[in-house]
């Protein structure tokens, strides 16, 4: 009974928070007085009534002048905002949008601000919405704002987020006076959904033996440029196919190819295990760092040899990466991938939709309770494991996420993400295992 009541209370809290945010947003849109302007207006009225009661002419003049100033600014702002109601201003985030970016080129571009601004007024562009860290269902409220210089029709806004995820936000323009009394809505709002990629990580250079992957032979028609049935040597070619005489003359290794022009392509099987029963901020940060390690691995191998093909599998599906276009498409989807409940993948690991040859590259976190059984199901194939563990007293090198970074970047954390769910590090057995550490601090 107590558990049911707690679940109901949690659901009510989750519903109440978005409703409150929506009410605040609607109030800001409809009410043209700012909090400072409303307070100044009320104070001016109080002073006016008090001065009339006490017959203080000096205070009457001051309060009337204040009210006339508010009236003039309000009329000018309302008239100009009505004329600019059809202005089509838009915001365009950088592609790709990366978390914790310090590059000025990665700022969001604001365009379409082509209206004349009256004296004592400025245009402000505001982006507000929800940010789902690492694709979590618990959204964080995001707000960012910038002022547009007079005479400019575009501006740049530093919209920076602390980790990967999905941003669903709306951008709109406001006309504000320099005293901060009024704020008028102008222009058409624009909504966008943007995938935010994880902040890059760096490490030692990765070397992969081409023979460690599964061979995929593909027949292609012989081209005119290959009429001599030879080409440069690439890792994975058989030594007996090398033409040593031609190689000595050209000072580079030349390989013979058959009349069918049969090319050998190495395929690497990569498994991204994003399984967890819960999704606290610490767990989401471990997942974010696993994404970063996977991205670094794919890009490093592709730079070494463009002929590698990756078969990537995750809890949400599978992808085949052959070229740069496939790589960009996958990394965009990777940013939005979140945790799914643990699954029994023993049968899947042992099954063979594709030949079970070559190494398996696995990227996982300490939240993956089924990792050990999955590794046993992969025997006897060699496994290379990259595991993201929570930081402990022993580890000196770790990547840290500071909670204060959310507030400094205009992001309000969802209360559910602040729950302390301790993630315990565990030891694992694999042919080759690399362990990286990550954690959160205030």
Side by side, the strands of the sheet bearing 183-197 are 97-98, 183-197, 165-177, 121-133, 140-148, 411-412
Query: What's the rounded Cα separation, in Å, for the pair 291 and 270?
Result: 12
Decide if 76 contacts 116 (C-beta within 8 A). Answer: no
Domain ranges for the chain, please list them.
31-197, 221-260, 266-441
Contacts of 410 (CB under 8 A, 6+ apart): 142, 143, 144
Class for domain 266-441, per CATH? alpha beta
Beta-carbon count within 10 A of 395 CB: 15
CATH number for the domain whose boundaries are 31-197: 2.60.40
Query: What's the rounded Cα separation, in Å, for the pair 84 and 87?
Result: 5
pLDDT of res. 196: 94
E strand or H helix at 109: strand 108-111
Q: How many CA atoms, within 13 angstroms, populate the side-chain half-sphere of residue 233?
A: 18
Of 328, 383, 408, 274, the closest CA to residue 95 belongs to 328
Q: What is the pLDDT of residues 374-424, one digit of tens each?
A: 888 888 888 889 999 887 655 567 888 888 888 888 899 888 888 877 777
pLDDT of res. 372: 85
Detail the DSSP E strand segments found in 378-420.
383-390, 398-402, 411-412
pLDDT of res. 197: 94
Angle at which helix 57-83 crosses helix 35-54, to 10 degrees, equals 150
pLDDT of res. 395: 59
pLDDT of res. 348: 52
Counting as low any pLDDT under 50, the low residues of the chain are: 1-17, 217-228, 259-263, 347, 350-354
């Amino acid at each position: 009974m107590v558990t049911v009541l707690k679940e109901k209370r949690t659901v009510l809290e989750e519903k109440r928070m978005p409703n409150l945010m929506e009410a605040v947003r609607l109030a800001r849109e409809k009410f043209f007085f700012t909090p400072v302007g409303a307070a100044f207006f009320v104070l001016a009225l109080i002073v006016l009534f008090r001065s009339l009661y006490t017959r203080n002419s000096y205070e009457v003049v001051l309060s009337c002048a204040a009210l006339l100033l508010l009236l003039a600014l309000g009329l000018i702002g309302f008239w100009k905002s009505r004329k600019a109601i059809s202005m089509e201003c838009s915001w365009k985030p950088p592609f790709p949008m990366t978390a914790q970016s310090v590059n000025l080129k990665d700022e969001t571009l604001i365009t379409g601000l082509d209206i004349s601004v009256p004296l004592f007024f400025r245009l402000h562009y505001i982006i507000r919405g929800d940010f789902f860290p690492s694709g979590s269902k618990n959204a964080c409220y995001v707000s960012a704002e910038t002022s547009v210089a007079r005479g400019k029709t575009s501006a740049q806004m530093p919209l920076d987020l602390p980790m990967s995820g999905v941003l669903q936000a709306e951008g709109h323009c406001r006309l504000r006076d320099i005293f901060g009394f009024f704020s008028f809505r102008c222009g058409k709002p624009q909504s966008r959904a943007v995938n935010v990629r994880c902040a890059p990580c760096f490490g030692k250079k990765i070397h992969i033996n081409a023979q460690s992957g599964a061979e995929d032979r593909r027949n292609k028609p012989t081209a005119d440029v290959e009429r001599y049935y030879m080409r440069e040597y690439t890792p994975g070619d058989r030594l007996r196919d090398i033409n040593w005489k031609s190689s000595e003359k050209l000072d580079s290794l030349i390989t013979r190819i058959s009349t069918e022009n049969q090319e050998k392509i190495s395929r690497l099987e990569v498994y991204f295990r994003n399984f967890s029963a819960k999704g606290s901020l610490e767990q989401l940060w471990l997942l974010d760092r696993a994404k970063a390690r996977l991205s670094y691995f794919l890009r490093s191998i592709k730079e070494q040899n463009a002929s590698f093909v990756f078969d990537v599998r995750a809890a949400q599906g599978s992808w085949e990466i052959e070229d740069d276009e496939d790589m960009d498409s996958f990394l965009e989807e990777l940013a939005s991938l979140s945790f799914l409940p643990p699954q029994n993948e023993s049968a899947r690991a042992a099954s063979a939709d594709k030949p079970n040859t070559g190494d398996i590259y696995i990227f996982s976190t300490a939240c993956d309770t089924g990792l050990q059984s999955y590794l046993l199901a992969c025997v006897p194939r060699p496994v290379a494991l990259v595991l993201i563990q929570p930081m402990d007293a022993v580890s000196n090198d770790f990547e840290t996420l500071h909670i204060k970074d959310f507030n400094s970047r205009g992001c309000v954390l969802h209360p559910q993400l602040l729950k302390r769910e301790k993630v315990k590090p565990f030891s694992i057995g694999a042919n080759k295992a690399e362990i990286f550490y990550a954690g959160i601090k205030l």
